[in-house]
């Protein structure tokens, strides 16, 4: 991110407008709305058809659910409608450093939009969140280790190495890259500090199924773009808003982190 | 004109859905089932008769919505 203030004077928490974007089939917008509301920000539930200008907001959030019935592929229709409506504005919003987050289906939408992993500007996907290895909808608490060194604006207030209990509920969460670029892309994610959360077992070690619910390589549960302001994760921190671990860290920290980022920039 | 687009997985991508269907068929005593590939078929009616233009449009439809190039291949058949 660029240094110094990009929005002039620091913002008051209550002035921070968060666009929680929905279409038919999204179903986690209320939890996400209240996650920001409880922290003193000013979230709004906005249907894509009613969105006038994304620059009316300081943060764009895409909630979980089954947007457009998961028809075609999870997140594909929501992504194509966003692309049709505001592709250029979205890229500009991201380039200006405003935060964009996607949880679960929202992560799938950001991947289908091509803004994650975001190695270069693309108008088609450069990754995929594919069917879980189990071919089942996996719905249960999962343990996540926070791996980011400080780039991701959604987790800057979570210490690196912290393990959090966050529920997963998805059928398509396995992160895949083009086969011929797989190694290069995973290497770049690690080198660029774009890995944010990884699934671990009760001892904090990277483990296979069922600790890793979908079979993602390197147990990846959440990633950010190279600048750190676009973030997606499969599990639901808005559903573990109050579930503090022994160090007092809960899903709330994800929302608090991004609000602090907006306040301080 | 009607166009059928069949979207399947690229070679080398594990198909959990196909594996699951194969397992179920085996449980139903179809012991001779060796492999199951799941494909999705879209039959789209498009106005106009210029096949070249229709084919170009179909390729754009696939690129913009119907496939994810990371995992999918597709075949197009023109149905008159």
Chain A touched by B41 (CB under 8 Å): no
Say what the pLDDT of residue A6 is.
52
Write down the CATH number for the domain with range A13-264.
3.40.50.880
Residue B78, token pair as written in the block: 């023109």
Is A24 noted as a catalytic residue in this protein?
no
ipTM for the whole complex: 0.89
Say what the pLDDT of residue B80 is.
76
CB-nearest partner of A125 from B19, B20, B70: B70
Q: Whose structure tokens read 């483990």? A: A207
Is A104 noted as a catalytic residue in this protein?
yes
A11 confidence band (pLDDT: 50, 70, 90) = confident
Does the pLDDT at position A5 exceed 50? no
Task: Judge whether B51 and B59 are in contact, CB under 8 Å.
Answer: no
Domain ranges for chain A = 13-264
Q: Do A76 and B19 touch (CB under 8 A)?
A: no
- Non-local CB neighbours of A187 within 8 Å, separated by 6+ positions: none
pLDDT tens string B17-44: 999 999 999 999 999 999 999 999 999 9
Is A236 noted as a catalytic residue in this protein?
yes
Say what the pLDDT of residue A1 is.
43
A9 confidence band (pLDDT: 50, 70, 90) = low
Instruction: List C-alpha distances in Å: A121 to A91, B29, B33, B41.
Output: 8, 50, 44, 30
Answer whether 0.95 is exceeded by the pTM: no
Write down the CATH number for the domain with range B2-79.
3.30.1280.10
A122 confidence band (pLDDT: 50, 70, 90) = confident
Residue B73, token pair as written in the block: 């291949």
Among A13, A154, A166, which Cα is nearest to A104's?
A166
């Amino acid at each position: 991110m660029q240094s110094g203030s990009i929005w002039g004077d620091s913002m008051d928490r209550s002035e921070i407008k968060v666009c929680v974007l929905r279409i038919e089939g999204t179903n986690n917008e209320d939890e996400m709305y209240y996650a920001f509301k409880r922290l003193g920000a000013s979230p709004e539930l906005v249907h894509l058809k009613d969105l006038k200008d994304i620059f009316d907001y300081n943060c764009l959030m895409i909630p979980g659910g089954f947007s457009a019935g998961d028809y075609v592929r999870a997140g594909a229709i929501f992504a194509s409608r966003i692309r049709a409506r505001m592709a250029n504005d979205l890229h500009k919003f991201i380039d200006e450093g405003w935060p964009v987050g996607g949880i679960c289906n929202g992560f799938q939408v950001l991947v289908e939009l091509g803004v994650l992993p975001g190695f270069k500007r693309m108008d088609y996907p450069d990754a995929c969140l594919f069917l879980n290895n189990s071919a089942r909808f996996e719905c249960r608490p999962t343990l996540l280790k926070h791996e980011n060194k400080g780039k991701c604006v959604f987790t800057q207030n979570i210490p690196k190495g912290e393990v959090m209990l966050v529920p997963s509920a998805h059928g398509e969460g396995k992160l895949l890259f083009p086969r011929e670029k797989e190694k290069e892309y995973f290497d770049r994610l690690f080198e660029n500090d774009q890995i944010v959360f990884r699934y671990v077992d009760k001892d904090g070690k990277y483990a296979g199924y069922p600790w890793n619910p979908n079979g993602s390589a390197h147990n990846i549960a959440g990633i950010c773009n190279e600048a750190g302001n676009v973030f997606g994760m499969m599990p639901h921190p808005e559903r573990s808003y109050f579930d503090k671990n022994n160090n007092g860290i809960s899903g709330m920290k994800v929302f608090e982190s991004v609000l602090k980022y907006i306040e301080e920039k | 004109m009607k166009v059928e687009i069949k979207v399947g997985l690229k070679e080398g991508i594990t198909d959990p859905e196909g594996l699951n269907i194969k397992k179920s068929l085996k449980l139903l005593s179809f012991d001779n089932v060796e492999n199951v590939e799941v494909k999705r078929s879209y039959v789209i009616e498009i106005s106009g008769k210029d096949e070249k233009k229709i084919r170009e449009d179909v390729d754009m439809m696939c690129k913009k919505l119907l496939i994810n190039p990371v995992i999918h291949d597709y075949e197009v058949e023109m149905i008159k």
